[in-house]
Amino acid sequence: MLNIGELVEATNGILVNGDVNLIPKNYVIDSRLIDKDDFFVPIVGENVDGHKFIEDCVNKGITGYFICSKVENKQDIIDKSLKFNNKLCIIEVEDTEKALYNAGKYNREKHLDIPLIAITGSVGKTSTREMIASVLRTSKNVLVTEKNYNSCIGIPIMALKIDMQDICIFEAGIDKFNEMDLESALLKPDIAVITNIGTAHIGTFKDKKNTFKEKLKIVNNLKGINKLIVNYDDKILKSINNNSKYEVLKCSLGEAENINCCEDKITFSTKIYNKLESVTINQIGVHNITNSLYAIKIGEIFNISTPNILKGIASYKNFNRRLQKYIIRNNIVLIDDTYNASIDSMFSGLSTINSMKSKRKIAVLGDMFDLGEYSNKLHEDVGKAFSKFNYDILFTLGEASKNITNIAKEYVENVKCFDTKIELINELNKVMEDGDIVYFKASNGMRFNEIIEELKK
């Protein structure tokens, strides 16, 4: 981790005040999350300028902050801060967001001896990262991406935490062209994992070919171990082969035998160090098999023992709102899969629930975001998917989701689109019966978690 002197050097900043030997505890961009001794980075966004919250952060006991040289009433902010705490570390920079990036890049380059695994893909990045981390943590000190810190702002925050770990596992997400160039240049990964190429942010990238081209930039700065792990069941990723720059390791469901999907776990067999082993995942979702195959390959690279690989996979836990299970009155099962949504994750989730045993199956779906001109068609494709499933009831909420109901009514007996959450909640309370499974899926911005919280009450 960097001290203030190194931070000034990394950002080409000016030390306005403070001790060059002090090491900040943490870097924070959200003033609401500030703890004592944190270092505040005021990002200038489209709608909000973080400089407005510097005074509040100083009152909360921060150790210091960046300040943009062009910010209005810069000197007044500095003077008020130092009047409250004359030991504050204040660094003046040209651009606070660039300063954060440069600081993260500086710290990563300071610790290039620590191997880093970078994970990207249209869906499944977080579950993949956590599965790999669960295996490596059995015998290694591991730094893993926290929360959703997988952007050009979040990745530098995580990179500033690199210190004495054995391995780092970072998630790399993009929603704009050329973002991966910046992320790859900072991360300088030893191993890259690409989970799939889907329709997430297709409103920006226009087609899967462009998405693939941008995601593949993760390998531009591969070093050290020099391995790229890809999902060989993905039609586009299947085209990647070994080259002079890196070795390609291919994961496929074809490597798994005797797959058994139960109500709360999955078992299968696969080879670990060329010996067939029985594997248990204590979660639902066939995608977790692929995630475990990535983890096995990476476990082998780092010489994790077979018992520890199996232990790590068995102890893996989903994050909140990713196929999270709740049992409410009369043994009704709610499946919360509302952290986010794309057409690929919609299909995967609907298929997972379809394979589960229950009295009836109810799907509650909401809009998928960031699809641009493709929104209507992709929501219609979700509706067509019900021709392959056996759902008794389908409820939707949202303007785009009307396209789902318009198509799905041909395949599902009870279909209805709602205008408000209250109407949807009231109807669910009427129709849910003992033994039903109710599956919820929508983009995070639809706030479907509020519906689930009401039903849990």
DSSP strands (E only) in 52-158: 64-68, 89-93, 116-120, 142-144
What pLDDT score was predicted for residue 319? 78
The answer as to whether 319 is a domain residue is: no
Q: Are residues 75 and 179 in the same domain?
A: no
Give the DSSP letter of residue 338.
Answer: -
pLDDT given at position 318: 80
How high is the pLDDT of residue 227? 97
Task: Please tell me the predicted confidence (pLDDT) of residue 387.
Answer: 97
Backbone phi, psi, residue 287, to 5°: -60, -25
Say if residue 306 is in the same domain as residue 332: no
Instruction: Give a yes or no: residue 101 inside a domain.
Output: no
If DSSP codes are grouped into helix, strand and coil, which group holds residue 396?
A: strand
Return the pLDDT at 243. Answer: 85
The pTM is what?
0.91
Q: Are 179 and 303 part of one and the same domain?
A: yes
333-366 pLDDT, tens digit per residue, is 999 999 989 999 999 999 999 999 899 999 999 9
Residue 244 confidence (pLDDT): 85
Judge if 149 and 220 occupy the same domain. yes
* C-beta of residue 421 within 8 angstroms of C-beta of residue 343: no
Establish if 102 belongs to a structural domain: no
Predicted local confidence at residue 256, as pLDDT = 97
For residue 98, give the DSSP letter.
H
Burial of 258 (0-12, 13-18, 19+ CB in 10 A): exposed
Q: Is residue 159 within 8 Å of 322, Cβ to Cβ?
A: no
**Which of 277, 276, 278, 251 shows the shortest CA–CA distance to 267?**
278
Three-state SS for 221?
helix
Please tell me whether residues 195 and 152 are part of one structural domain.
yes
Side-chain half-sphere CA neighbours of 345 within 13 A = 31
Range of the domain at 235: 111-314
| The predicted structure's pLDDT at residue 121 | 96
Q: 52 CB contacts (<8 Å, ≥6 apart)?
A: 42
Blockwise average pLDDT, block size 10, the chain, 457 residues? 97 98 96 96 94 96 97 95 97 98 98 98 93 98 95 98 97 96 98 94 89 96 97 95 91 96 92 98 93 98 98 91 88 93 92 93 96 94 97 97 97 96 97 96 95 93
Does 105 reside within a domain?
A: no
Q: What pLDDT is stored for residue 268 in this prediction?
A: 98
Q: How many Cα atoms sit within 13 Å of 313 on the Cβ side?
A: 31
Q: Would you say 126 and 319 are in contact if contact means Cβ atoms under 8 Å apart?
A: yes
45-96 confidence digits (pLDDT tens): 989 999 999 999 999 999 999 999 999 999 999 999 999 999 999 999 999 9
User: 359, 358, 347: which is closest to 387 by C-alpha?
Assistant: 347
Asked if residues 349 and 453 have their Cβ atoms less than 8 Å apart, the reply is no
Residue 336 and residue 296 share a domain = no
Domain stops at, among 68, 94, 120: 94
- Average model confidence (pLDDT) across the chain: 95
